[in-house]
Amino acid sequence: MVRRGIGGTVSLPPVLHFGTDGVRGKAYDELVPQDVARLAQAAAEVLAPAGPVVIGRDTRLSSPDFANALISGFSAAGVPTLDLGVAPTPAVAWAAARHHIPGAVVSASHNPWPDNGIKLFGPGGRKLDDEVQTGLEAVLADSKRRWAPHPTRRPLVADAAGMLSDYQNAVAATAEFDGRGLRVVADAAHGSASAALPGPLGAHGVELTVINADPDGRNINHQCGSTHPEAVARAVCEQGAELGITFDGDADRVLAVDHTGELVDGDQIIAICAVDRQNRGLLPGNTVVVTVMTNLGFHRAMSNRSINVVTTPVGDRHVWSALQDGEWGLGGEQSGHVIFPALANAGDGLVTALQLLEVIVRRKMTLRDLAAEAMAKMPQVLHNVATGPDPIDPDQLDSAIAAAEQALGTSGRVLVRPSGTEPVIRVMVEAETLEAARSVAAEVATAVGGPRRAIPTTRH
C-alpha cells in the first residue's frame, strides 16, 4: 500500500493496530484520513451504535482533517455524529456516558504535533477492552471487505458545543471547597485544556493564571504541558503561586508542581488522595490500583498505612478494568492519569486537579508538605531506547536484566517493556540512590540497543 504523506510516498501495510491508548502514528504518513474513515466504519459495525457518536479533537494541525474523516466514515455507515469540536478527551467520555452512546477522539495525547491518533469509547463512555479492539482489527484487516469511500448521503452532523459547557459544570460539581486566596498556575499545553479552562477551577474561586493556551496547530505539548513541567514550575516561582498544574495535549492527565517548582507526579497525587480518603473512610476496600510503572516508594508508603495495592499493566484502561472488577474507588498512573470511578468514567485531568486542590484546602497544608507526608519517592531513571532495524539479542538482554536485578537485590527493581504509543523500548530502574539507578539503567539500555534519550524521572 502506498501512502502520500507530507514528505512524499511510503509503503505501509493497510492494517491499523491498537496500542496502549488507541491508534496512533505520524499524521498523513503512518496514519491517513482514509484509515480514520475505515476505522469509523468498522467501529459502526463492531460497536453497533443505535444512535449518534460524539466526536471531539485536540488542537493539532491535522485534527480537523481526521475529525472530518471520522464524520465521513460514520456517515457512510449511516451513523450520525455529534461534533464537540476542540474538547478534552474526558469531555467526550462524559458526553458518551451521559447519553449512553459511543465516542471518538482525535488526539495523540502527549506526542508532538506531527503525530495524531484516534481513541474510541464504547456506549457509556468506557475505553474499549482487548476483545473489542481485536475485533476491530480483524474487521479492518479483512481483505474482502469493501469500504465506502465517502458518505452515500450528506453527513449527519450536529453541533454539540453546548455539551462542552455542560461537561465543565459537571466537573466543577465533583468537588466542594472555597479556593479564594489560592493562587494556581495552569499550563494548558496549547491543547484541549485550552477549551475548558478556567471554568471548573474558577467556579471554586481559585485565583487561576492560565499559560500556554494559544494553540496554533504546531505548538501542542511543545516545551510545555505535562511532558515539560519546567514551564509551569518557572511560572509558579515567578508569580509566587501556591502551586501549578500542567495538562497533557488532550487533558486526560495532569501533573503538579509545588510552590518551589518541585514536581509532584501521578504517584504522589494518587498517594495524597488515597491517604485523604482513607482518613475519611472514603477508600472502598481500602485499596488503590496502579500500574507496573508506579514508584516502589508508593508501594512502601501504602503498605505502611495498610492500604492494599493492585498492580496492572500500563494503560489507564487496565486500571479502569481492575477498579470495576474490584469495585474500588481510586487508581491511576505515574504519568498523571488518575481515575475516580465515582466522579468520572475515565481519567480526567480537570477532575484530578480539583480533587487535589480540595485536599490542600481541607488539610490547610502546602502541596509540598502533603506530598512528603504521603510517600517518599525512590530514585527512578527511565531510558527510552529507539527501536531500529536490528533485532534485540534476547540472551544479551536477559543476561543484563539478571545482572541488574542481582546488583539491586531487594532494594530496587528493573522493568523493560515496549512503549504502546511510541517506537521505543522503555527501560526503567529504581534504586536506593540516583547514582545506582543511573548506572544500572545505562547498562540495561545498552543491552537493548543504547540509550537514545535518557529521562531521569526523579529530580534531586
Q: Model confidence over 138-183: pLDDT tens digits?
A: 888 887 787 776 665 556 566 676 899 999 999 999 999 999 999 9
Looking at residue 421, its pLDDT comes to 66
Looking at residue 104, its pLDDT comes to 96
Range of weakest confidence among 47-61, 147-161, 195-209, 248-262? 147-161
Range of weakest confidence among 76-80, 352-356, 417-421, 440-444? 417-421
The phi and psi torsions of 82 (rounded to 5 degrees) equal -110, 120
Q: Which residue has the higher pLDDT, 211 or 410?
A: 211
Give the whole-angstrom CA distance, residue 329 versus residue 274: 9
Tell me if 70 sits within 8 A of 23, measured CB to CB: no
Looking at residue 452, its pLDDT comes to 46
- Determine what percent of the chain is predicted with pLDDT higher than 90: 64
Looking at residue 36, its pLDDT comes to 94
Whether 373 has a pLDDT exceeding 60, the answer reads: yes
CB count, 10 Å around CB of 262? 16
Question: For the whole model, what pTM was predicted?
Answer: 0.87
Looking at residue 447, its pLDDT comes to 81
- What is the helix (H) or strand (E) element at residue 317, kind and residue range? helix 316-326
Q: Which residue has the higher pLDDT, 123 or 10?
A: 123
Give the whole-angstrom CA distance, residue 379 versus residue 459: 8
The phi and psi torsions of 120 (rounded to 5 degrees) equal -115, 145
Looking at residue 154, its pLDDT comes to 58
| Overall average pLDDT of the 422-429 stretch | 83
What confidence tier does 8 reach under pLDDT thresholds 50, 70, 90? Answer: very low
What b/e string do you get for 300-327 counting C-beta neighbours within 10 Å, with b at 16 or more? ebbeeeebebbebebbbbbbbbbbeeee
Tell me if 249 sits within 8 A of 187, measured CB to CB: no
Q: Which residue has the higher pLDDT, 455 or 22?
A: 22
Ordered DSSP codes for 18-87 = -BTTBEEEEBTTTB-HHHHHHHHHHHHHHS--SS-EEEEE-S-TTHHHHHHHHHHHHHHTT--EEEEEE-
pLDDT tens digits, one per residue of 202-250? 999 999 999 999 999 999 999 999 999 999 999 999 999 999 999 999 9
Domains of the chain: 2-161 (3.40.120.10), 166-262 (3.40.120.10), 264-374 (3.40.120.10), 380-456 (3.30.310.50)
Q: Report the DSSP beta bridge partners of residue 418.
A: 425
What confidence tier does 455 reach under pLDDT thresholds 50, 70, 90? Answer: very low
What confidence tier does 278 reach under pLDDT thresholds 50, 70, 90? Answer: very high
| Overall average pLDDT of the 69-95 stretch | 93
Spatial neighbors of 102 by CB under 8 A, at least 6 apart, are 43, 47, 49, 53, 54, 96, 120, 121, 122, 123
Is 109 known to be catalytic?
yes
Looking at residue 460, its pLDDT comes to 33
| Overall average pLDDT of the 304-324 stretch | 94
Residue found under cell 503525530: 115
Amino acid in position 107: S
Ordered DSSP codes for 325-348 = HHT-S-EE-TTS-EE-TTT-SS--
Active-site entry in 63, 72, 107, 109: 109
Looking at residue 294, its pLDDT comes to 94
Mean pLDDT of the chain: 89
DSSP state of 215: -
* Residue in 289, 286, 386 with CA at minimum distance from that of residue 337: 289
What confidence tier does 385 reach under pLDDT thresholds 50, 70, 90? Answer: confident
Residue 311 Cα to chain centre, angstroms: 17
| Overall average pLDDT of the 434-449 stretch | 85
Give the whole-angstrom CA distance, residue 421 versus residue 404: 26
Give the whole-angstrom CA distance, residue 40 versus residue 353: 32
Looking at residue 15, its pLDDT comes to 61
Give the whole-angstrom CA distance, residue 265 versus residue 455: 14
